[in-house]
Structure 1
Amino acid sequence: MSTIDIIFVSYNSEKWISGLLKSLTNQNYPLEKLYLTFVDNNSKDNSRKIIESYENKHLFGGYQHFFLDKNLGFGKANNYGVNHTKQDYIFFLNIDTEVDCNCITELINAIDSSDDNVGLWESRQFPYEHPKVYNPVTMETSWSSGACCLVRRDYFIQIGMFDERIFMYGEDVDLSWRFRAQGYKLNYVPKSVVHHYTYMSAGEVKPNQFYNSTYMNLMLRYKFGSIKDIIKGHVMFSGLLFINGPAKSHKSTILKKLLKSPFEGVKYRKWKRKADKSQFRPDFKLWDYEINRDGAFYVNEQPDGFPLVSILIRTCGRPNVLREALLSVRNQTYKNIEVIIVEDGPPISESLLHEEFQDLNIVYKSTNDKVGRCIVGNMALELARGKYFNFLDDDDLLYADHVEVLVSSILKHPECKAAYSISFEVPTEVVSREPYIYREIFHNVQHRQPFNRLVLMHHNYFPIQTVLFDRQIYEDLGGIDPDLEVLEDWDLWMRYAFKYDFLYVEKLTSLYRVPSNISHNTERQALFDQYLSIVREKNLKYKFQIDMASIFKDVEYLMEKPPTIIYKIKGMSFRTLLFKVKNKLFYYGKKILK
């Protein structure tokens, strides 16, 4: 087993230290393999006394502390710790954290399954997971939080360690980008959980974080970006003069930083000139460094129970596509999962499952002859044994916490029999089928809409993989209509929604791919248009299965507060459509009464 140096930087941290140390003693990993190092930045409280007097230091492979006579800042203090340690792996862990019992074990598992070109592994933070995008298949990310990341010592030293000019905030982005500039990858390990108490409440804005992080955004543009990036950074930072900030001295603070920025920026720019041959190019997203997923302040927690969840996958002779969907299932943080795979046609994918996915609980069936996606979906439903079902098309992907988040949410709301989360829509260009090569065009389209039956009557606003539903709904109302070629999921959700409430979970947990090629989209849309009227006609029948008062309530709500996106069909606005629906309801209601 690998030995690990764990480095903590403390500064007036007396309220966190005991809880952190207690959580470390509960690790399901040999404690003698862990070497603890505290670097204290001249604390004025009881931090030093608590660190020195810790009673269980003998349980670890090593326990040392360094009490500095001044505050060096986060990065420089961590470098100090690195220079006084020697293990092959270093875990940088914030002092205001506690670690789950399997935190380090999962990090080591990730290391053992990684290639040599991975230089850093980042744990997942509770209760607020960082919302940046990562690859659900490879688990690669573009930058990693310094609050809980493990690095290879030799790679870390090779790239120059933490930039000691950065006192606090932004040093982790800088470190991540220098790893990537040297050709190393960063991996996210969501099964390794760290409880980080950085925010006292959701959406909290800390003045120190606000000013340092925005200023470092500008300095990172000098260090890594183009001239255009630097100009944009100055415009953005200057714009802060015209807003109300988190501190009374807001404008003077911004002005002082703005005046000194060109002089400091020139110093940061030296790295860019030295590394000019590097192929690395940063991607600034205004104040962010990556596309963010909705749900930054969703409160993550483990579910109260772990009922069996059946992931239902329909596939059709394209194992290279199926492989990625299964890898995203393998990466799930929720353990009690069975995967039902029904292949429409010959058993082309069966050998893939035996060779690469024996670790998953898979039930596989092929139809031999082509029967269509709807019949295949019903076969998957019949084979499933889970308490909850979740469809996943073979070309879509789940983020690692997808099942965990939906199960946790639905168990808290037993009045709802289905839950759905937010999803990315990703236009995708398939370059090659053999081997499977594709290019994703992230447009940052996120499907978000609170549950409303009238909106659902107008359009399907949750893609199929976003919905987790109780098997009771299936047993009560049946499966997919086999007469439909497309829009079968919309028809299914309409039928279910008119009898059961769906719970809206405000976190992005999946992505689904759509063709980026315009001609493909045109063909796809033509087929959808053909079945649109068929499904809408069925919707009129479904709506009378529920209390008419709730329908009118939805109509009145939407009249005053329509969805963010106003859809139009044949020149008809969404609001006009609602009026027509309301009139239709009166018309059909009178007919029923007669």
Structure 2
Amino acid sequence: MKKNLVSVIIPHYNGVDFIDQCLQSLTKTTYKPFEIIVVDNGSRDGSQSFIKKHYPQVKLLQSPKNLGYAGGCTFGYEHSTGEFIVFLNNDTTVDKHWLTHLVKTAQTQNIAICQPKVLALRKPTHFEYAGAAGGYMDRWGYVFCRGRLFDVCEKDEGQYDQQVDIFWASGVCLFTKRSVLETIGAFDPYFFMYFEEEDLCWRAHLQNQRVVFVPGAKIYHYGEKTAKKYPFKKYYYFHRNHSILLLKNYAWSSLLRVLPKKFALDMVMMIYFLFKGQWKRSVSIFTATLFLPFHLVSILKLRKQTQHLRKRDEKEIWNMLYPKNIALSYFLRDKKKFTDLLEESPAYWKQLPYR
């Protein structure tokens, strides 16, 4: 390990234009020292030769197959040397001072994981879907962000420019420490894509560690360039991993309270999308649900490993999670902004044990 060095790890699969834009912005970073590691997941568009030619300073790791985002990040981490680790999407650009703010926050406070402000690359005045100003989760595992509820992304007007503790940091740009990953593990490759960052942050909370939003650090994200090409794959992993996330991290007492309603909601969604003519999404929910009983043994092994990390009482974890179902708040109670949730459940926000 090299002290003060930041290892920036970028999983990549096709998209030369995106990785070029990302690497160009990284070269302007003012913080030193840092290294850039690109994990190429078997690109077939000339990405590897392009990076070698135009960015010889980048450490390029080539995988013969697509490891997914989680596997690519873990592979890169295993070949890194930094005291600090950043997992970064390839369709991002960064503000030149981004690392300075993240390192300063991590060094001066007892913090395990940090997230910068995530703005939309195509509309930089607004928050971006995947992360915005930090993530939260309700008790059924449905996620939302400061600055983004479902598809409604707010304009960034400085309304969330306070450093606050959050429940999860976006995998679009997740900053952490090598010492943290050595304790709780890196992204779980079992997830492949979706919910890997929520799983990592939940493990940090089980260890009684903090996850923090750092408003001074800014990045810009294009968003979902790969998932849009493969909608069934996207929906399948989303619904499958949502269930695995809960099964791995909750105590049994909480699972008994949550799972019946969670699976009931899944069935309602499956029927809803079927009647809407979105059969791919309906089938993906069914297939994802069917996956669970056939792989329960392997999921329970992952659960056992996760629960061995526990230093925090389950009641504290339960109280960290939003008490109302965010989908019902959004669709039935017309809560379209994060500030609406502050008004909906003021007692919850005041009692958070990790703020």
Q: Deviations over 1:338-385 (max 9, x none)?
A: xxxxxxxxxxxxxxxxxxxxxxxxxxxxxxxxxxxxxxxxxxxxxxxx
Q: Is the 8 Å Cα contact of residues 112 and 180 (structure 2) preserved in structure 1?
A: yes
The one-letter amino acid paired with 1:425 is E
Alignment of 1:267-346 (within 5 A): 267-273=298-304, 275=307, 278=311, 279-280=313-314, 281=317, 283=321, 286=325, 294-295=336-337
Alignment of 1:8-27 (within 5 A): 8-27=10-29
Match of 2:269 in 1: 240
**Displacement after TM superposition at 1:156 (Å):** 0.9
Match of 2:213 in 1: 188
Q: Deviations over 1:182-219 (max 9, x none)?
A: 1111011121111000057xx99955433322221111
CA distance in 2, matches of 1:195, 1:439: 28
- Seen in structure 2, the aligned counterparts of structure 1 residues 273 and 232 have a Cα distance that, compared at 3 Å, is farther
Q: Deviations over 1:421-465 (max 9, x none)?
A: 868337767xxxxxxxx98269xxxxxxxxxxxxxxxxxxxxxxx
The one-letter amino acid paired with 2:280 is S
Match of 1:40 in 2: 40
Match of 1:69 in 2: 64
**Displacement after TM superposition at 1:241 (Å):** 2.0
Match of 2:9 in 1: 7
Q: Is the 8 Å Cα contact of residues 84 and 175 (structure 2) preserved in structure 1?
A: yes
**Displacement after TM superposition at 1:29 (Å):** 2.3
CA RMSD of aligned residues (A): 3.4
Provide the secondary structure at the position in 1 that maps to 2:187. Answer: coil
Which protein shows a greater Rg?
1
Q: Is the 8 Å Cα contact of residues 240 and 291 (structure 2) preserved in structure 1?
A: no
Tell me the TM-score normalized by structure 1. Answer: 0.45
Q: Is the 8 Å Cα contact of residues 4 and 90 (structure 1) preserved in structure 2?
A: yes
Q: Is the 8 Å Cα contact of residues 4 and 35 (structure 1) preserved in structure 2?
A: yes
The one-letter amino acid paired with 1:120 is I
User: Do structure 1's residue 250 and structure 2's residue 281 form an aligned pair?
Assistant: yes
Alignment of 1:440-519 (within 5 A): 440=350
Tell me the TM-score normalized by structure 2. Answer: 0.73
CA distance in 1, matches of 2:337, 2:46: 36
Where structure 1 has 5 or more consecutive residues not aligned to the other structure, the ranges are 297-420, 430-437, 443-594
**Displacement after TM superposition at 1:133 (Å):** 4.4
Q: Is the 8 Å Cα contact of residues 10 and 88 (structure 2) preserved in structure 1?
A: yes
2:84 to 80, 84, 89: 89
CA distance in 1, matches of 2:286, 2:340: 39
- Seen in structure 2, the aligned counterparts of structure 1 residues 247 and 136 have a Cα distance that, compared at 3 Å, is same
Match of 2:151 in 1: none
Match of 1:228 in 2: 257
1:212 to 237, 255, 258: 237
CA distance in 2, matches of 1:119, 1:65: 27
Q: Is the 8 Å Cα contact of residues 219 and 265 (structure 1) preserved in structure 2?
A: no
- Seen in structure 2, the aligned counterparts of structure 1 residues 238 and 88 have a Cα distance that, compared at 3 Å, is same
CA distance in 1, matches of 2:117, 2:183: 26
- Seen in structure 2, the aligned counterparts of structure 1 residues 92 and 273 have a Cα distance that, compared at 3 Å, is closer
Match of 2:342 in 1: 424
- Seen in structure 2, the aligned counterparts of structure 1 residues 112 and 160 have a Cα distance that, compared at 3 Å, is closer
- Seen in structure 2, the aligned counterparts of structure 1 residues 257 and 181 have a Cα distance that, compared at 3 Å, is same
Match of 2:117 in 1: 124
The structure whose residues are more often helix, as a share, is 2
Provide the secondary structure at the position in 2 that maps to 1:89. Answer: strand
The one-letter amino acid paired with 2:104 is N
Greater relative CO (CA pairs within 8 A, separation 6+): 2
CA distance in 2, matches of 1:12, 1:247: 28
Q: Is the 8 Å Cα contact of residues 165 and 213 (structure 2) preserved in structure 1?
A: yes
Provide the secondary structure at the position in 2 that maps to 1:53. Answer: helix
- Seen in structure 2, the aligned counterparts of structure 1 residues 233 and 10 have a Cα distance that, compared at 3 Å, is same
User: Do structure 1's residue 107 and structure 2's residue 86 form an aligned pair?
Assistant: no
The one-letter amino acid paired with 2:46 is N
**Displacement after TM superposition at 1:18 (Å):** 1.0
CA distance in 2, matches of 1:251, 1:428: 35
**Displacement after TM superposition at 1:263 (Å):** 2.9
Q: Share of identical aligned residues, percent?
A: 23
Give the number of equivalent residue pairs.
298
Where structure 2 has 5 or more consecutive residues not aligned to the other structure, the ranges are 121-126, 133-143, 148-159
The one-letter amino acid paired with 1:107 is L
